[in-house]
Amino acid sequence: MHNFMTKTNSNTNRDEATQDTEFSPRVPVTAKTNLKDIRIATDATISPDGKRAAFVVSEWVPEMPRQRARIWAVKTDGSSEAGALAKGTRADTYPRWSPDSQQLAFISRSEGEKDRPQVHVMAAEGGEARQVCKMPNGASDLSWSPDGKYIAFLSVDGGDPVSDPKVFTPGQGRHRRLWRVRIDSDTPEPVTPDGQSIWQYAWAPDSEQFAVFFANGPDQTDWYRGQIGVVMAHGGTIRQVGQLTHQASALTWSPDGSRIAYVSGEWSDPDRGGGDIYVHSFSDGETRNLTPGITCSASWCGWHPDGQRLLFVAWEGVGYKVGVVNEADGTISTLMQDRNIGDRFWPHLSTTPDLQRFVFTSSDRHPPEVWLGEITHEGGVLTSSNRKRLTELNPILKDTLELAHTERIRYESADGWQIDALFTQPLKHKGDTLPPLIVNVHGGPSSAWSDDWDNYRSF
């Protein structure tokens, strides 16, 4: 898409983003405007060698009743335009690069398969995909082992509820189990025992273990009572580590495998984690909060190769923040602020192993596009990040549709709390009286409104 900014170089910032007003068109959205033509990019992931980015594009296709998701790719050096890697009517999601950057694993579902998408693999350049294995209830949340020999994924146990209407009884849900399959085999192996639900997991650097956020109950509400554990990659009993008082997410191993970092807080929805960054040490069994009193809510973190610092992304007001926290003393430095980072409602990055480059989706004044970031190091210190846009998915939008102006405001509520909010003026208003005010309140405690692209607010 034509970016609504006047620049796309490394110095692009929010002030420049607001300069798009004089270039924005001209034509307001009406009942005849076809908003289905807008493509949306999500789940951007960078290849370990930093040369390519894969991502999911959702778009409406004629003769199909719903949006179709396909995997696209683009070279990070800008030498080629972004394009779909596979064609056809299948719905493809969750692209993940192999450690050698030569293959791409993903989840694919054919028409009629409903909730049973399967694990597939294809060459990095695209072409014919191969189904790796077949699970009765499909697969989700896949991840390559660091040695490139296995793909792990989650799959629910049991059959579909047969009652109509469906009746959900406490304790009668289906467990989410962790599996792995050799890349050269078609036989999946269960990793975790029957009767426990895995909500998130992370491979250990040596590919011999997993860290998991697990619960003993099968229901969605059991997520609130989850704990962190470790299980051998070949399968076995989950060994709980530490004692959580809140749910956890964004599990990540230190490079030497001696510690686990994660995000934990009061944010209350599965896969919508937010809070502080914690580190658990296997050597002494201690767990430390690295960010007590931080004024933002971390949602993702990843270790620097030196094992002494963590890169993180956080919610901050109605914006986002990318920073680095030192494990030893908790000092924090900011690399990027106020940009929209990651998919809507999940600020995160996809980084190369050396933490030199990363990709993310961003949607300040336009539908989400894919961006490349490069981190600057000076004397071993992460000092700043440069960024450039890699995709242009909706080239006509900038020149055809008029956008409403949104501004950030902050005010003190009745109980003294400082509230961050977004105020959008109507595109057209006639008369001398003030237009009606619509207030859309987000009460929390999970997720937050953000100053990003929103069809209703933008038009």
328-361 pLDDT tens trace? 999 999 988 877 888 877 889 999 999 999 999 9
More confident residue, 177 or 267: 177
More confident residue, 360 or 7: 360
| Residues 6 or more apart whose Cβ sits within 8 Å of residue 414 | none
CA 260-261-265 angle, 5° bins: 130
pLDDT at 180: 99
**Burial category of 189 from C-beta neighbours within 10 Å (exposed 0-12, middle 13-18, buried 19 and up):** middle
**Closest C-alpha among 456, 424, 363 to residue 39:** 363
pLDDT at 445: 66
pTM for this predicted structure: 0.88
More confident residue, 267 or 140: 140
pLDDT at 93: 95
pLDDT at 369: 93
- Stretch 41-46: mean pLDDT: 96
How sure is the predictor about 164, in pLDDT bands with cuts at 50, 70 and 90? low
pLDDT at 325: 96
Beta strands in 157-226 (DSSP E): 176-182, 189-190, 197-203, 209-215
pLDDT at 124: 94
Instruction: Give the span between the Cα atoms of 259 and 352, in whole angstroms.
Output: 20
Instruction: Give the span between the Cα atoms of 55 and 360, in whole angstroms.
Output: 9
Q: Is the pLDDT confidence value at 11 over 50?
A: no
DSSP-assigned letters across all residues of 140-162: EEEEE-TTSSEEEEEEE-SPPP-
**What are 212-244's pLDDT values in tens digits?**
999 998 887 888 899 999 999 999 999 999 999
Residue 9 CA: distances (Å) to CA of 41, 129, 158, 390 = 20, 36, 51, 11
**What are 272-321's pLDDT values in tens digits?**
789 999 999 999 999 999 999 999 999 999 999 999 999 999 999 889 99
Q: Is the pLDDT confidence value at 32 over 80?
A: no
Q: Is the pLDDT confidence value at 5 over 50?
A: no
Question: Largest Cα–Cα distance of the chain, in whole Å?
Answer: 72
- Stretch 167-183: mean pLDDT: 84
How sure is the predictor about 19, in pLDDT bands with cuts at 50, 70 and 90? very low
pLDDT at 398: 66
**What are 202-217's pLDDT values in tens digits?**
999 999 999 999 999 8
How sure is the predictor about 384, in pLDDT bands with cuts at 50, 70 and 90? low
How sure is the predictor about 113, in pLDDT bands with cuts at 50, 70 and 90? low
Domain ranges in the chain are 14-399
Domain 14-399 falls in which CATH fold?
Methylamine Dehydrogenase; Chain H (2.130.10)
Average pLDDT, the chain: 86
pLDDT at 221: 82
How sure is the predictor about 403, in pLDDT bands with cuts at 50, 70 and 90? confident
More confident residue, 110 or 108: 108
Instruction: Give the span between the Cα atoms of 135 and 189, in whole angstroms.
Output: 11
pLDDT at 339: 75
> Checking DSSP bridges between strand 418-424 and strand 259-264, what pairing results, if any?
unpaired
> Residue 203: what are its φ and ψ, rounded to 5°?
-65, 145
pLDDT at 232: 99
CB distance 122 to 107 below 8 Å: no
**What are 414-459's pLDDT values in tens digits?**
899 888 999 998 888 888 888 888 888 876 666 778 888 887 777 7
pLDDT at 205: 98
Instruction: Give the span between the Cα atoms of 112 and 101, in whole angstroms.
Output: 32
31, amino acid identity: A
CB distance 260 to 438 below 8 Å: no
Q: Is the pLDDT confidence value at 24 over 60?
A: no
How sure is the predictor about 13, in pLDDT bands with cuts at 50, 70 and 90? very low
Share of the chain above pLDDT 70, in %: 87
pLDDT at 172: 66
| Residues 6 or more apart whose Cβ sits within 8 Å of residue 137 | 115, 116, 155, 156, 157, 158, 174
Mean pLDDT lowest for which of 136-140, 169-173, 263-267, 355-359? 169-173
Residue 360 CA: distances (Å) to CA of 258, 381, 422 = 29, 22, 23
Residue 429 CA: distances (Å) to CA of 405, 433, 434, 435, 436 = 13, 9, 9, 7, 10
pLDDT at 444: 67
Instruction: Give the span between the Cα atoms of 5 and 157, in whole angstroms.
Output: 48
Which SS3 state, helix, strand or coil, does residue 357 take?
strand
> Residue 18: what are its φ and ψ, rounded to 5°?
-80, -5
How sure is the predictor about 166, in pLDDT bands with cuts at 50, 70 and 90? low
The string over 43-61, giving b where at least 16 C-beta atoms fall within 10 Å of a residue's C-beta and e elsewhere, is bbbbbbbbebbbbbbbbee
**Closest C-alpha among 418, 410, 318 to residue 364:** 318
Instruction: Give the span between the Cα atoms of 4 and 363, in whole angstroms.
Output: 10
Q: Is the pLDDT confidence value at 26 over 70?
A: no
Q: Is the pLDDT confidence value at 2 over 70?
A: no
> Checking DSSP bridges between strand 83-84 and strand 118-123, what pairing results, if any?
unpaired
CA 431-433-435 angle, 5° bins: 90
Write out the two tokens for 51: 């040369």
Instruction: Give the span between the Cα atoms of 454 and 413, in whole angstroms.
Output: 25
